[in-house]
Structure 1
Amino acid sequence: MSTVLRVLTGLLALAAMQNAIADDKYPSKPVTIIVPQAAGGANDAIARVIAQKLSEQLGQTFIVDNRPGAGGNVGTVVAAKAKPDGYTLMITADSSMVINPSLYKSTGFDPVKDFQPVGTLATAGYVLVANPAFPAKNVAELIALAKQQPKKIYIGSAGNGTLNHLIGEMLGKAAGIDLVHVPYKGASAAVTDLVGGQVQVSVQSLPSSISFIKAGKIKVLGVVNEKRVPALPDSPTIGETVKGFGTTPWYGMFVPAGTPKSIIQQLNAEIAKALESKDAIERLAGVGCEPFKSSPEQFASLVRDDLPRWAKIVKDAGATVD
């Protein structure tokens, strides 16, 4: 009898150990990815590609949860306060993390202290686009027209404090023109009104605008990125007209500070695997984005370098939100 009891006890102990290992396996339940921008924009498009790939690779559901507001601050604060257990992630644009701290008196979060970088995901093409009926066909003609008609040209953005808004402010400052900013609740709403003619121009990511460009519903005046983008190889950059102008937005994944390093390393490895897959590369290219991989350490360095760089850009542009 004692031998039987010892065997049973051993089996129970083994089962308990196996259950503990199973419980420790990450992820063992659905994971939420907070996207602090509205659906339809670049960050949302990238997040959905990554969420699908992670779901396939890890066998758990990765749910995209859009939390827009205050230029990304609303969702970012939610992510910063989440439990650091790996089940709340954030995929965000560079604007929320390295630009907002210079735009707002208070964002409600510290981009360095409240988060740990997991890895970069992609860069996106950004374009200055116009309604087809708008007389200017390129950046030079827009500048000439805006100087003839100051405060007569309306430029739509995805909202106050968004990257779209700031790039428009930067362009106005660099070109010496005064455009009237019209903020919307998301990129999709801005594009809709641009197509309808309620605003004449807008800065948009390619994910939110490329289908309209291909359909001829809006036209490209210039590319915001430092270099021409593969999705629009014949479209010149704004910097080819306005010397020194240009920026290439990046998107990345963060987790709340205190998240176990093992989870961060696992997520980084899975992201790298996802970004190497043919279907992810094709899906990103289809919306004007390109994979951009980094280690957590490289990403942390990028954030630290970009914070002062954007602080100077914001100051020089004279852009404010509060």
Structure 2
Amino acid sequence: MKLTRRSAIGALAALTLAGQARAAVPQQITIVVPYPPGGLSDNLARVTGKVLAQNMGIPVIVENKPGANGVLGLQQIAHAKADGATIGMVPASVMTVNPALYKTMKVDTVKDLEMLTLAITLPNVLVVHPSLPVHTMQELLAYLRNAGGKVSYGSMGTGSSAHLNGELLSRIARLDITHVPYKGSAPAMQDLMAGNIQMAFENLPVALPFIQSGKLRAIGVTSTEPSPQAPDIPPIGRSIPGFEDNIWFGFIAPAGLPRDVAAKLSAQLVKTIQSDEVSKPMRERGAAITTSTPEEMRKVVVRERDKWAELVAERKISVE
């Protein structure tokens, strides 16, 4: 059979396209989680990875890389080969708060990383000890103003979302409240229920059992809308305009990822996260499914990074 020049070019083009299609599918994907096993980040990565492997027909493994409040894991993601074989599952704080807290951080969360999609959001909830004579945000504000700085709030650590929620409340409402950092959520909740501190911000799924049992009283959620998990708890922002913190989790990759690979991974992740196998257990934990385009996620990261950098600088918050 005689091969004409035109048919040869066509055959070469077909081979090139086939090669590009194959290149857009890594042989295996590793999802790096910058925290230890057991938390929400790890749980989301594992349930997503399981369904993603089924959808793409390739192995997907989860690798936990804890340390330095997520910085070590983020560095591993940013420095990985940009071929789609390594992606990351990160909470908002790693992308938007850490750059302001860690001056020596060697990753620019916008320039050194490729956004793939947001995944879920969930609020913190402001809870108080039931002995406090307050039931609404307005009553709490009046109580705090009369307390003269004698009220303390706990968080799971300096620079945590709970800590920054308290600093944001203090700044916007011009309050004098004392921050007490703990090494994790559990000891903060224990001290609050014991009456050693008076209030705290906590992830809604963690605090809800204590609220329902009467051991804590809920005042408001940090999200812009009430949570479907607790629709009777109003947003704090309704009483304090400008107060907002929608805590999100999302997927990222190293910068320089080929556009076709990034597009394919983004589409596959969105499809996976929206599936019943992933969305149902996440909703049961109080999260809303909030998938996005890469550009939408990038805009969120830039906006919130600037917001928290301003607060951290103004309140002189440091972990180093």
Cα offsets for 1:97-117 (capped at 9, x unmatched): 123223332322111222111
- Alignment length (residue pairs): 302
Aligned mates of 2:191, 2:85 — CA distance in 1: 37
Residue 140 of structure 2 is matched in structure 1 by 142
CA contact (8 A) 1:130 1:218 kept: yes
CA, structure 1 residues 220+89, in 2 after alignment: closer, same or farther (shift >3 Å)? same
Residue 92 of structure 1 is matched in structure 2 by 90
Shift of 1:214: 3.7
The range that moved more, 162-171 or 129-138, is 129-138
Residue 116 of structure 1 is matched in structure 2 by 114
1:224 to 222, 225, 239: 222
Query: What is the DSSP-based 3-state SS (H/G/I as helix, E as strand, rest coil) of the residue aligned with 2:97?
Result: helix
Aligned mates of 1:275, 1:44 — CA distance in 2: 14
The range that moved more, 311-320 or 74-83, is 311-320
1:200 aligns to 2:198 (yes or no)? yes
Residue 79 of structure 1 is matched in structure 2 by 77
CA contact (8 A) 2:156 2:188 kept: yes
1:153 aligns to 2:187 (yes or no)? no
Shift of 1:281: 2.5
- TM-score, normalising length: structure 2: 0.80
- TM-score, normalising length: structure 1: 0.79
Point out where structure 1 has 5 or more consecutive residues left out of the alignment.
1-19
CA, structure 1 residues 208+186, in 2 after alignment: closer, same or farther (shift >3 Å)? same
Aligned mates of 1:67, 1:102 — CA distance in 2: 21
Aligned mates of 2:183, 2:64 — CA distance in 1: 12
Cα offsets for 1:222-242 (capped at 9, x unmatched): 111122222221111112222
Query: What is the DSSP-based 3-state SS (H/G/I as helix, E as strand, rest coil) of the residue aligned with 2:51?
Result: helix
CA contact (8 A) 2:26 2:83 kept: no
CA contact (8 A) 1:34 1:79 kept: yes
Residue 58 of structure 1 is matched in structure 2 by 56
Q: For the aligned residues, what is the CA RMSD?
A: 3.1
Shift of 1:273: 1.1
Aligned mates of 2:163, 2:36 — CA distance in 1: 14
Query: What is the DSSP-based 3-state SS (H/G/I as helix, E as strand, rest coil) of the residue aligned with 2:309?
Result: helix
Residue 249 of structure 1 is matched in structure 2 by 247
CA, structure 1 residues 111+160, in 2 after alignment: closer, same or farther (shift >3 Å)? same
Residue 27 of structure 2 is matched in structure 1 by 28
Q: Write the mapping of 1:309-320 to structure 2, written as runs, cut at 5 A.
A: 309-315=307-313, 319-320=317-318
Shift of 1:66: 4.1
Shift of 1:90: 1.4
Aligned partner letter, 2:181: P
The range that moved more, 228-237 or 152-161, is 152-161
Q: Percent identity?
A: 35
CA contact (8 A) 2:27 2:59 kept: no
Query: What is the DSSP-based 3-state SS (H/G/I as helix, E as strand, rest coil) of the residue aligned with 1:274?
Result: helix
CA contact (8 A) 2:27 2:85 kept: no
Aligned partner letter, 1:168: G
Aligned mates of 1:312, 1:158 — CA distance in 2: 21
Aligned mates of 1:276, 1:234 — CA distance in 2: 26
Point out where structure 2 has 5 or more consecutive residues left out of the alignment.
1-18
